[in-house]
Chain A
């Protein structure tokens, strides 16, 4: 299995509180992604990174920020959590930016905002 770890695996938080999810990889892959998965929507891209300190927005980036200060870690922050951000969050990594390379996923973080 690809060396990708998400933490925490489960979290319950209150509306309005900040939350940070961590994705850690041991594969030295350049590309890292954060997705959220909701019923009826599949996986939707929040943010991605193509290198240290290089990040860009995905299709559902509002309310989220990211940081990547080193190759192995990609952090997703909800500055002020809302109930609409209750979801399962997946981190993914890819070795290259090529379109034909496989993406590997972390085990997911189940976030509940109450």
Chain B
């Protein structure tokens, strides 16, 4: 079983739609959680961190459920510019020198069409 699993999609939605992505992780010792965005043939860039209480940044809302080991990202009022791959990232402090090990999901592809 992969440590971090995402539905790869693709998700094809019209402009203005609301879309939600889910991510599950297997390591209960995981400590920090992030959503990264990756545009085609570009490097991943941080979209937002995910906090236990849930957090919002404009049209984007992230949720964390530690009990179910589940992370979500909600995008409201989708824009054409939201088309990208969204990567779920989980960080674990593996102890010793393995600080801040980042584990990536395989990514969810989103296409927003007119």
Contact = CB atoms under 8 A, between A and B. Distances in A.
Contacts of B106: 40-42
B61 interface: no
A42 B31 contact: no
A74 B104 CA distance: 21
A102 B44 contact: no
The binding surface of chain A is classed by DSSP as: strand
B16 interface: no
Which size class do A's interface residues fall under?
20 to 34
Interface stretch (A14-22, A62-70, A77-85, A91-99): A91-99
B102 interface: yes
Interface residues of B, number: 27
A35 B107 CA distance: 15
B91 interface: yes
Nearest to B101: A45
The 10 lowest CB-CB distance pairs between A and B, nearest first, are A97-B99, A42-B106, A105-B43, A99-B91, A99-B31, A99-B32, A43-B104, A42-B104, A100-B32, A97-B100
Interface of B: 4, 8, 31-32, 34, 41-46, 49, 87, 91-93, 97-107
Interface of A: 31, 33, 35, 40-45, 48, 50, 54, 56, 90, 92, 94, 96-103, 105-108
